[in-house]
Amino acid sequence: MRNNKHFRPTKAIIDLNAIKHNVCQLKKHILPNVQIIAVVKANAYGHGDVEVAKAALDAGASMLAVATPEEALHIRTYFPTTEILVLGYSPVSFATCAAKENIILTVYSKEWVEQVKKHALDKPLKLHIKVDSGMNRIGVTNVEEFLALYESISTSEKLIVDGIFTHFATADEEDEYYFQNQVNRFEKFMQVVPKKPRIVHVANTATSLIKDPRLQYDAVRFGISMYGLAPSEFVKSNLPFPLKPAFSLVTELVAIKKIYPGESVGYGATFTVEEPTYIGTLPIGYADGLIRKYSGQDVLIDGQRVPIVGRICMDQCMIALPTEYNLGENVVLIGKQKNEEITIDEWAKKIDSINYEVPCIITSRVPRFYYKNE
């Protein structure tokens, strides 16, 4: 799978069939005529935004969502006609470019709108009003603020209220008290909106999978589970359909040596063997996203679990082997090998984090290779 640009054997393999499967299954699950907004922010959660976006659109998604203006412009280069929504903050200076490129922006400030009005927009700019129903992040927080923002947008011929949305803080948890409070709060905004816009969307991944179908409104935002990962253990145990993980991380054994009792491995000599042990070296380290907290995490070689030992280096790490292997032996850090599997969820648990973070922090130094079997 190497090409003339990548010689190191460390690589991430992205299964685009899994992406398509997950989108297709969601499409069957949601109500008819509800759109799927494929969330490809943060380089598609570390999977590769362009290839993932292609797969999601092929499978039935109708809109793409990103976090920043730069992400939107990058996606627009490859998808000249697809609707793109920036979910996060955009500076006023980006408004002219967004209008020209037909990029939809999130708005939550009347002052922001008034500043945009001072700019000459060649084309109409579509805006989605963000309602803060309880995340206390970005968004309008009361009805008066909401109506003032709506009116400010509506008085301009170049600005369009194209959508209204919110984001739930606890949709992936069993306790629905806070979630229901957010639902009720959002519905109060919808009761006073002068005119319902084209798209109302509140359902994040967890909401679209396990909550009241009425919350699907006009569109659902499909994020973490598009990549085959559940937002939480609670959602994982209540999934309406099986998810297929799309991300694997692999490398090869590049060195092996036998060391003896009393000898240590790596910086700080933190791992010392008590019996003769084969130590293998892998060409992946914390500069690739294999942060030092992963020391002790298992990897797979010949279908067997073996641990990373010693401190992980910037570019390499070491593993303890049960026997001698040939150089070039395949090693799986995330994914399946023979009858064993190491999951992203396992990696997340190792560093006391969430599965969202794991692929996101695998750096661009690790090339992404795409598997697609029609």
pLDDT by residue for the chain (374 residues), tens only, comes to 445 688 999 999 999 999 999 999 999 999 999 999 999 999 999 999 999 999 999 999 999 999 999 999 999 999 999 999 999 999 999 999 999 999 999 999 999 999 999 998 989 999 999 999 999 999 999 999 999 999 999 999 999 999 999 999 999 999 999 999 999 999 999 999 999 999 999 999 999 999 999 999 999 999 999 999 999 999 999 999 999 999 999 999 999 999 999 999 999 999 999 999 999 999 999 999 999 999 999 999 999 999 999 999 999 999 999 999 999 999 999 999 999 999 999 999 999 999 999 999 999 999 999 998 75
Maximum pairwise Cα distance, the chain: 78
pTM higher than 0.75, yes or no? Answer: yes
Residue in 54, 81, 84 with CA at minimum distance from that of residue 72: 84
Contacts of 263 (CB under 8 A, 6+ apart): 272, 273
C-alpha 352/C-alpha 9 separation (Å) is 28
**The dihedral of CA 358, 361, 364, 365: what is its sign?**
negative
The catalytic residue among 41, 54, 110, 211 is 41
Q: State residue 373's pLDDT score.
A: 77
Does the active-site annotation cover 41?
yes
pLDDT of residue 2: 44
Predicted local distance difference test score (pLDDT) of residue 305: 98
What are the chain's domains?
16-228 (3.20.20.10), 247-342 (2.40.37.10)
Report the phi/psi class of residue 68: left, alpha or beta, with left for phi > 0 and alpha for psi in -120 to 50: beta
d(CA 112, CA 129): 12
Instruction: Return the number of other C-beta atoms located less than 10 Å from residue 294's C-beta.
Output: 21
Q: Which of 78, 123, 257, 267 is catalytic?
A: 267
